[in-house]
Amino acid sequence: MIRSIAFYLPQFHPIKENDEWYGKGFTEWTNVAKAKPLYRGHYQPHVPADLGFYDLRLKSVKIEQIELAKKYGITAFCYWYYWFGNGEQILEKPVWEMYNDKSIDFPYCIAWANHSWENKLWDSKGNNKLLKEQKYLGEEDYIKFFKNVLPLLKDERYLTINKKPVVVIYKPLASPEIKILIDTWRKLAIKENLEGIYFIGEDRSNRELNKIISYGFDATYNNNTTEIHHNLSTFNKLRLYFECKFLKKPMIFKYKDAIKYMVPKESKNENIFPCIAPNWDHSPRTGSKAIILDNCNPKYFYKVAKKSNFKCTSKI
């Protein structure tokens, strides 16, 4: 059975931290709405269609999102989850509202976004000021983290593979401490009558599988951002150098050229999950320093989506 899981960014509602850092009412929509075209034919700003400039504090929005997801073949949402250490969290409200409302019938899981937040993260004019530092504080903190998410892992709607709750980690090799966290969580999961934890780590270059597995992960997902950039840059060095340095343009690649690197042959491995993107344009956040996939025609996405449907050997 093929399952399509969509990453879910919970940045579309105001929080006190963003109010303090970027101004009252800041959300991801702030960047979306102010985006401008940076070259001829550049499609910006992207005005949202079906749901408009939604607010994730509203239950009606969540229901409509799930209806759209089901209509277009999405199996589950994977919520980005922020735990900086010692109980410091941010943007956790959407997934917990999902958990607390048992009437919402849709699978979900979490992805630990284990990276520090710098001022430049959401604002192209920002500096490198550290806003939130990602810390790895040892076994006691990992136990606290586990207890924090345990109700989610035990939810009957929570996504599983081989009967194990799925937990994604954004930077699987960020610290050797992640080995300790994985081992700790697996032991605690068994004590809580779970089958274990199915850990998936991101592999941007599709070359780190063995090392990631050695940290205790079960699988990787091949977000080939680095690979796409490397391959397409190799064939466009002179053009990119001229456009970026002298014309102050972002780094622009054709989407139809990028899709060939989204699902490499290695994705047939049962331990590698293909990760595909319908489009990519980072300019609302980073302006002329962005990487952009241009002309993201749905026919090209159909092509790469069809290519990604490899046989899945894992059980629900």
DSSP 253-290: EEHHHHGGGTS-GGGGSTTEEE---S-EE-HHHHGGG-
Helix, coil or strand: residue 17: helix
Over residues 280-306, the mean pLDDT reads 90
How large is the C-alpha radius of gyration of the chain?
20
pLDDT beyond 80 at 149: yes
pLDDT of 102 higher than 80: yes
pLDDT interval class at 101 (50, 70, 90): very high
At 127 the pLDDT is 63
Q: Which amino acid is it at 157?
A: R
The phi and psi torsions of 308 (rounded to 5 degrees) equal -80, -10
Share the mean pLDDT of the chain: 89
Cα–Cα nearest to 106, from 114, 94, 90: 94
pLDDT at residue 169, as a whole number? 98
Structure tokens of 277?
A: 């993107």
Cα distances (Å, whole numbers) of residue 291 to 50, 80, 132, 288: 26, 22, 25, 8
What pLDDT is stored for residue 121 in this prediction?
57
| Residue 219 to residue 206: CA distance in whole angstroms | 12
**Amino acid identity for residue 266 in this structure:** E
Residues ≥6 apart with Cβ < 8 Å to 262 = 224, 228, 274, 275, 276, 277, 304, 308
d(CA 42, CA 159): 38
Confidence at residue 29, expressed as pLDDT on a 0 to 100 scale? 96
Query: In the prediction, which pLDDT does 314 show?
Result: 39
Q: Which of 13-22, 230-239, 251-260, 283-292 is the most confident on average?
A: 13-22
Preceding peptide of 278 cis, ω within 30°: no
Q: Are 93 and 59 in contact (CB under 8 A)?
A: no
Which range is least confidently modeled, 214-218, 242-246, 272-276, 305-309? 242-246
Quote the pLDDT of residue 119: 75
Say what the pLDDT of residue 232 is.
Answer: 73
Cα 104 to its chain centre, rounded Å, is 22
CB 252 within 8 A of CB 283: no
Is residue 112 within 8 Å of 78, Cβ to Cβ?
Answer: no
Give the angle subtended at the CA of 221 by the CAs of 215 and 222, to the nearest 5°. Answer: 110
Tokens 């939604």 correspond to 54
Read off the pLDDT of each residue in 95-124 and give the average, rounded to a whole number: 89
Q: Which positions ≥6 away from 299 have C-beta within 8 Å?
A: none
Q: How far is residue 166's CA from residue 69's CA, in Å, rounded to a whole number? A: 19
